[in-house]
Structure 1
């Protein structure tokens, strides 16, 4: 069995990997896309999220921005996780992520959280929760504004 210390170390490595090698960083080269700008004034994190939604499904997702390792790695993980999901599933996943990041109980159900679980430890640092949820809030705002 892995100790909490080793697990924390593993989670830190996953977060740093997404920070140093972000997935889906950049712009979407499609005309019909949603672009959402969000920032976290408390720490200066800024993100621009690009979503390609077709037939109620997130076909592609990319982001640009600047900020701390938590906000940028969370954006990387989120764009990976929601690609190919229906809009409803992506919104549901965002709700569950919000519960997890606040340290509440949540059921993963049929959603694959994958690397996202590495952000669980953020719940111990309330000031960082906004960093972790920035990209997710941007995704929710984009989808809800498009419905």
Structure 2
């Protein structure tokens, strides 16, 4: 993929994010923080019968964290929780460099972030939304999530 195409997609999702807005009827809300650079997002999902029927995020951060969160929401809205978690696992494998080529097709545009694996300082930026979603579902399954809860995401 050309560097120009990568930049165009990244810029578009950063400057004109589809999913960066409040979501008043969200029933799962969790803050994700990247302490190494100050990225801070609130991931908000509306989940019914294990399906993500709507999602949004608010917060501040670098272009990579904001674009990655927006691309993630493009992928997971309309999906069952298990499928969203499978996509998160695939994204994280891609960032670690263990998933490549055709196996990345389910990630659609998010696969452009594959090169972030070669930029260690940016990895936590790219995975912030994805780790926040994973942590959200984990805490919800354990009955430990409450609206407005904050979690600091760490690179796994």
TM-score (normalised: structure 2) = 0.84
Unaligned 5+ segments in structure 2 are 142-156
- Alpha-carbon distance, 1:112 to partner: 2.9
Correspondence for 1:131 among 125, 129, 132: 125
- Alpha-carbon distance, 1:126 to partner: 1.1
- Alpha-carbon distance, 1:146 to partner: 1.4
Bigger Cα displacement from structure 2, 127-136 vs 98-107: 98-107
Are residue 27 (structure 1) and residue 22 (structure 2) matched? Answer: yes
Deviation above 2 Å: which 4+ runs of structure 1? Answer: 105-109
Aligned to 2:6: 11
Partners of 1:146 and 1:108 in 2: CA distance: 29
Partners of 1:142 and 1:52 in 2: CA distance: 12
Give the match's secondary structure for 2:36: coil
Unaligned 5+ segments in structure 1 are none
Summarize the alignment of residues 92-131 of structure 1 with structure 2, pairs less than 5 Å apart: 92-106=86-100, 108=103, 112-131=106-125
1:22-60 CA deviation, whole Å, 9 max, x = no partner? 111111121x51110011010000000001111011111
Cα root mean square deviation, aligned: 1.5
TM-score (normalised: structure 1) = 0.89
Give the match's secondary structure for 1:52: strand
Partners of 2:48 and 2:113 in 1: CA distance: 29
Number of residues of Structure 1 aligned to a counterpart in Structure 2? 140
Partners of 2:28 and 2:39 in 1: CA distance: 20
Correspondence for 1:88 among 82, 101, 108: 82
The answer to whether the 8 A contact 1:74-1:116 is kept is: yes
Partners of 1:57 and 1:143 in 2: CA distance: 12
Give the match's secondary structure for 2:7: helix
